[in-house]
Structure 1
Amino acid sequence: MHSKKIKVQIMNPGLLEEDCLVLGELLIKQLKIPTNHPLQLSFGSFRHNVKVIPLSRLDGIRISQGLAKRMALPARSTLRITYRPHSSTIQLGPIIGVLISRDYPESPERPFGPITLFCRELANACQRQGVFVYFFTPSHIGSNSSNVTGWVYADGWRKTDLPAANVFYNRLTSRKLENKPSVQHFMKEVKSLFGSHYFNEKFLDKTEVFDALGHAPALSVYMPESHLFRNFAMLKSMCNKHPIVFLKPIKGSLGKGIIRISRLEGGGYQTLTAQVGGTQKQTYPSLAKLFSALSGKMKSTRYQIQQGLHLMQMDRRPVDFRALVQKNRFGKWNVTSIVARIAGNQHFVSNLARGGSLCTLKDAISRSTLPPQIKKKLSARLKKAALDIAKGIDEQIPAHFGELGIDLAVDQHGRIWLLEVNSKPSKNDNTPIGGGKVRPSAKQVIEYSRFLSGF
């Protein structure tokens, strides 16, 4: 759909009626907007009947102050405009609504805590592309789905009432918030009433991902043996097959609570458990004793049991990879970035929250102990694996995703394995953003939102 980026001029009271839009003649001609009969103006869920007044030397749009107030448009806005002839609708927008877990109104400089920089970056990028973005939490959702209270950025953050968006981007970091009836009801309503799109609509559990992708023959090459952990027989079977086995909380994140089980040379078993301050080590004379110790944890936490891997190393530390895969302006999956994650001194997991560190993909490959012939093609093979897995998620899991964090491992023979898929990859303020620079990851969110909304 053809859209144009335009500046919105808000007229002083008394100069223009609320049901009139002033548009440049060239714009009217380019978008084939009729001027001889009433039209509808839409901005997200906002609808208003208008008539168009042509003006020869105007390259933007003029609207009344009263109409701008009802649309919640700040002064000096830049938006995109398109005309939908089948419904005689002039559409302004698009609007992206970003659903976040919490806000801190008492901190106007940092209203979204550790993701404030990302939100500001997204707001800056939207402004450049003529896209309107706001940020809201589940507590901002009221009984009327056509309106929400949210935050917009215009010379500082401010809270206001806003129309429902064309596209909603789910950045909730809590399953409890995501499953709230008010959130589920709101998303269902905006989809059916206003045709809104909602992406990254749900968390992914480890069991769900491995079970779903296990049905795709083309992906089996990336899949370590993995099951929902149920009983002693399963533990015994996995430990007999694999020298190292991992237990991962199926709803866990940041590497928290992962348990590494390995056979000891002189008999018995050792567990390493990822904790905040380091790794807790314990030994057991038998598998039965180990299972008995795990039984208490299994009452409150469900685990995925997974084949352990001998990972490639860099500076004698295990390395894995996080690929950020996003849909682009054509609605196709695209690898935005791949970074290497190196496990910290006191840890066997590579998450930053557990003392891990980041380095570039190129650096990790060149400094690894892998043979030269494997190093040569590894970057391209990791990108292909990430894309294959993202497409597999789309095909096998009935939910709408536009962005995935895909954790991949490479073993000491150069084989690529899937570790985990995360539908809420981190946006915390741990990546420096200088001079108003917009990272490709923020641009992709906007490009995909424009694709979904037809702008």
Structure 2
Amino acid sequence: MTMRRKAILKVSRGVSPGMGLRVSPKGMLRTGAKAVPKAVPKAGPDQRLFGILVTRSNNVPPTAANPFPGRTGTFRQISLMAARQGLKVCVFRPGGLLKSKKQVVAHVYISGRGWVRQVCPLPAVVYNRVANRRAESRPWIRRALSWLKQQKVQVFNPAFLDKWQVYDILQTNEETKELVPPTVLYTGTAQLVEKLRRWRFIYCKPRRGSLGNGIVSLKLMPNGRVAVAWNARGGRWTRRLMLADVEAAAAWGRRHFRPGWTCLQKGITLARLHGRQYDIRALVQKDEAGEWRFTGAAGRVAAQGQVTTHVPRGGSRWRLDKAIKAGLADPGQAPAVQANLARLCEKAAAALEKGYGELYGEFSLDVGMEKSGRLWILEMNSKPFRFDEPDLRRLAYRRLVSFARFLLEEGEQRRKPDQKPDSDQEHDRA
């Protein structure tokens, strides 16, 4: 015979009315399966909440000590940085929203105790760190983000970027139009033939791709044949193919590219390190005054023969100054190029945020460099991966928290405390 065990939780009588719970005279609560975490008081001047919205990013099961596999350490460091600036961080999933109570079930890091699951007031500021595009497209996650905005919560970095929208915004902005290689949206074979003959080297990128998946390079050779190279999805090695002519390449493209969903970008002859292509991975963030500031950058060198420089595909890391000097025809230009990189990143961030009309706090950029020192924006990302360089990472955490504090202080003047509770269903799926 199977026995069902019921979890029993002891709850303070002073806390339980605020949670809408019924308890026995001894303070015992029968919950059936899961214990309800202890509530915390509303955030006040000494306890301002900065929320981070997350979903699972891998298949590793969460534990009490490691509630966010792959990102627990990052959120711990952000929490410690926030505590030094007088903020409290709560990390939560969409299913943790208690809509009618304007509360959220979240994990809070407490020094000396580790991660503690609590019921917190609804944060006034939330950073959207939903793990991937597939998760972000799920209806219950979109409903959660929409509901947060309805509650006047300031959600920054609201979505993953669409590559075509990024290129279109930057190409049509006077400040940034010369910083992006010519890019068009694929419409069909005739267009691909024309661009390949004109540009001779093209990168074909899925507009909603990430991690280098699906990127194809087409190169028109002197003998009229077309060299094709692409990354196998999830694989570490590049596949290659040689086609007879541009018409054959266009026919191949028709089978692999969706009109309206693939960007065709002119290939730029970039500087190389030891025969391998490389680019610069940069981070730009808003500061404590809400202004865009260059945080830092590092070199990323592709594995031999690879189409992209992603480290998971065998790429390696180089210090920024070393990477710039090694790639320049005149290494003496390096300080000027580095200063130009900072300006370029700040301009691009401001232009992109304005073009989207949404609130952003940070972007990462992939920047290519010619031997002459000219810089090109190749990619921009609204959910930057953690940088491995310790100094850059610490500054990135500090800037992120400083921007959240800026939003909280700015928002205190505008928030309406008398909003009526929402009667929507308490829990969405996570």
Q: Which amino acid aligns with 2:187?
A: R
Q: How far, CA to CA, are the matches of 2:259 and 2:170 in structure 1? A: 26
Distance 1:256 1:180, change over 3 A: closer
Q: Which amino acid aligns with 1:214?
A: Q
Please say if residues 328 and 373 of structure 2, whose CA atoms lie closer than 8 Å, have aligned partners that are also in contact: no
Distance 1:181 1:144, change over 3 A: farther
Say which of 303, 309, 317 aligns to 2:268.
309
Please say if residues 187 and 259 of structure 2, whose CA atoms lie closer than 8 Å, have aligned partners that are also in contact: no
Please say if residues 145 and 189 of structure 1, whose CA atoms lie closer than 8 Å, have aligned partners that are also in contact: no
1:298 alignment partner in structure 2: 257
2:186 alignment partner in structure 1: 229
Please say if residues 313 and 369 of structure 1, whose CA atoms lie closer than 8 Å, have aligned partners that are also in contact: no
1:98 alignment partner in structure 2: 52
Any unmatched runs of 5+ in structure 2? 1-11, 20-37, 411-430
1:128 alignment partner in structure 2: 84
**1:202 and 2:159 correspond:** yes
2:428 alignment partner in structure 1: none
Please say if residues 218 and 226 of structure 2, whose CA atoms lie closer than 8 Å, have aligned partners that are also in contact: yes
In the TM superposition, residue 373 of structure 1 has moved relative to its aligned partner by 4.8
2:405 alignment partner in structure 1: 450
Please say if residues 345 and 365 of structure 2, whose CA atoms lie closer than 8 Å, have aligned partners that are also in contact: yes
Residue by residue over 1:252-309, the C-alpha shift from the partner in whole angstroms, topping out at 9 and shown as x without a partner, is: 1111121111012222101011231311010110222222223232259921100001
1:140 alignment partner in structure 2: 96
Say which of 40, 43, 47 aligns to 1:71.
40
Query: What SS class does the counterpart of residue 387 from structure 1 fall into?
Result: helix
Please say if residues 272 and 279 of structure 1, whose CA atoms lie closer than 8 Å, have aligned partners that are also in contact: yes
TM-score w.r.t. length of structure 2: 0.80
Q: CA RMSD in A?
A: 2.7
Distance 1:145 1:381, change over 3 A: farther
In the TM superposition, residue 108 of structure 1 has moved relative to its aligned partner by 2.5
Residue-pair matches, total: 373
Between the two proteins, what is the percent identity of the paired residues? 26
Q: How far, CA to CA, are the matches of 1:165 and 1:143 in structure 2? A: 12
TM-score w.r.t. length of structure 1: 0.76
Q: How far, CA to CA, are the matches of 1:219 and 1:367 in structure 2? A: 26
Q: How far, CA to CA, are the matches of 1:210 and 1:283 in structure 2? A: 29
Q: How far, CA to CA, are the matches of 1:262 and 1:207 in structure 2? A: 21
Say which of 414, 426, 446 aligns to 2:385.
426
Please say if residues 254 and 352 of structure 1, whose CA atoms lie closer than 8 Å, have aligned partners that are also in contact: no
Distance 1:269 1:174, change over 3 A: same
Instruction: Write out aligned runs for 1:6-405 (5 A).
Output: 70-71=39-40, 91-102=45-56, 106-144=62-100, 146-154=102-110, 155-193=113-151, 195-275=152-232, 276-299=235-258, 302-405=261-364
Q: How far, CA to CA, are the matches of 1:224 and 1:262 in structure 2? A: 16
Query: What SS class does the counterpart of residue 193 from structure 2 fall into?
Result: helix
Q: How far, CA to CA, are the matches of 2:353 and 2:214 in structure 1? A: 28
Q: Which amino acid aligns with 1:453?
A: L
Q: How far, CA to CA, are the matches of 2:305 and 2:219 in structure 1? A: 17
Q: Which amino acid aligns with 1:202?
A: A
Please say if residues 315 and 368 of structure 1, whose CA atoms lie closer than 8 Å, have aligned partners that are also in contact: no
Q: How far, CA to CA, are the matches of 2:101 and 2:255 in structure 1? A: 44
Distance 1:355 1:335, change over 3 A: same
By percentage of residues, which structure has more strand?
A: 1
Distance 1:241 1:227, change over 3 A: same
Q: How far, CA to CA, are the matches of 2:384 and 2:259 in structure 1? A: 25
Q: Which amino acid aligns with 1:225?
A: P
In the TM superposition, residue 454 of structure 1 has moved relative to its aligned partner by 0.3
Residue by residue over 1:67-119, the C-alpha shift from the partner in whole angstroms, topping out at 9 and shown as x without a partner, is: xx64358xxxxx9xxxxxxxxxx634320110112286642332211111111
Q: How far, CA to CA, are the matches of 1:300 and 1:72 in structure 2? A: 53
Distance 1:113 1:410, change over 3 A: same
Q: Which amino acid aligns with 1:267?
A: G
**Larger RCO: 1 or 2 (CA < 8 Å, sep 6+):** 2
Please say if residues 54 and 91 of structure 2, whose CA atoms lie closer than 8 Å, have aligned partners that are also in contact: yes
Query: What SS class does the counterpart of residue 222 from structure 1 fall into?
Result: coil
In the TM superposition, residue 172 of structure 1 has moved relative to its aligned partner by 1.1
**1:412 and 2:376 correspond:** no
Q: Which amino acid aligns with 2:124?
A: N
